[in-house]
Amino acid sequence: MKILVIEDEAKARDYMRKGLTEAGFIVDVAENGQDGLFYAQEHHYDLILLDVMMPGMDGWQVMAALDKQIHTPVIFLTAKGTLEDRIKGLELGADDYLVKPFSFAELLARVRTQLRRGGQQKLPDVLQLADLQLDILKRRVERGGQRIDLTNKEFNLLHLFLLHPGEVLTRTLIASRVWDMNFDSDTNVVDVAVKRLRQKIDGPFVQPLIHTVYGVGYRCEAES
């Protein structure tokens, strides 16, 4: 999967390249609109990450030029979260947007969503991690052959973890995906929920699957 990052801010460009490369993508970067447009026309990319505020040719102009020629999904990154701005981007043919500051986990989640949508990959009905199995249709969870009873929320939380194995999920992202709470209410709700899920999933077993990433959030994977 090839991704093009068009971003004029050097530090932002670098961490996105690094993070996306480590997440298993092939990443090209462009530091201004003209170069970005040139790359997008010369090569095939599965996804383009586009910064709106750039000197010279800005993101809107790049998007307008792209839309006429290429049907690659575009996620635009903007510091202005106003409704008009978002609508403008979506009208110009962007597929999604992220408002700065955003967490990298959120960016990664959106990237995967777009790539799935483009590739029409069907998600499996049973998700597996080490000896843990989650059956989406039957809403059953087993570990090492033992059935584990989860509440609705715990099931949804585990489902989210298993959809993003090995990725760090921030509290904000979890609150948004599991409870549909899209704002900060200064609470430890997510921590409490993860703690309870951990007691059921990891408690009785030797190998921990849910790991705390100090300060950032949680990650679900077989190797610590």
Partner 1 sequence: MKTRSLAARLSLLLSATVIVIFSLSGIALYHSLATQIGVRDDAALLTRIDQIRTLLRDEDAITLIQQKPRLFANMLGNTESLLVLRFPGQPPLIVVNPGQRPIPAITPVPADQPLALSSVHHLAAADGTPFISAAALAPTRDGNGQIEIITGRLMSDRTQTLNSYRDQIILATALAALLVAAISVWLVRRALTPLRRLAAQADAIDVRHLAQRMPEQAAAELQPLVAAFNQMLSRLEMGYHQLSQVSADMAHDLRTPISTLIGQTEVALSQTRSVGDYQALLGSNYEELDRLAKMIDNMLFLAKAEDASQAMDLQDIDLAQLGEKLQDYFDGMAEEQSMRLEMTLHGELRADPQLLQRALANLMANALRYGDRDSTVRVFNQGNSLMVENQGSPLSAEQQARIFDRFWRADASRHQGSSGLGLSIVRSIMRLHQGRCEVHSEDGVNRFTLRFPSVGCGH
Contacting positions for partner 1 (CB under 8 A): 81-83, 101, 103, 152-153, 170, 172, 175, 179-189, 192-193, 196, 213-216
The two three-digit tokens of residue 41, written as one number: 């026309």
44 — alpha (psi -120 to 50), left (phi > 0) or beta?
Answer: beta
**Cβ of residue 44: shortest distance to partner 1, in angstroms?**
34
**Cβ of residue 81: shortest distance to partner 1, in angstroms?**
7
**Cβ of residue 107: shortest distance to partner 1, in angstroms?**
14
CB-CB neighbours of 103 under 10 Å = 17
Q: Which lies closer to partner 1 via its Cβ, residue 29 or residue 178?
A: 178
**Cβ of residue 166: shortest distance to partner 1, in angstroms?**
17
Q: Which lies closer to partner 1 via its Cβ, residue 101 or residue 145?
A: 101
Q: Which lies closer to partner 1 via its Cβ, residue 128 or residue 187?
A: 187
**Cβ of residue 187: shortest distance to partner 1, in angstroms?**
5
Q: Which lies closer to partner 1 via its Cβ, residue 179 or residue 205?
A: 179
Q: Which lies closer to partner 1 via its Cβ, residue 81 or residue 203?
A: 81
H helix and E strand count, the chain: 8, 12
Query: For 181-198, b where at least 16 C-beta lie within 10 A, e where not — what string?
Result: eeeeeeeeebeebbebbb
* Those residues with Cβ within 8 angstroms of residue 135's Cβ, 6 or more apart along the chain or in another chain: 125, 126, 141
* Those residues with Cβ within 8 angstroms of residue 66's Cβ, 6 or more apart along the chain or in another chain: 37, 40, 48, 72, 74, 93
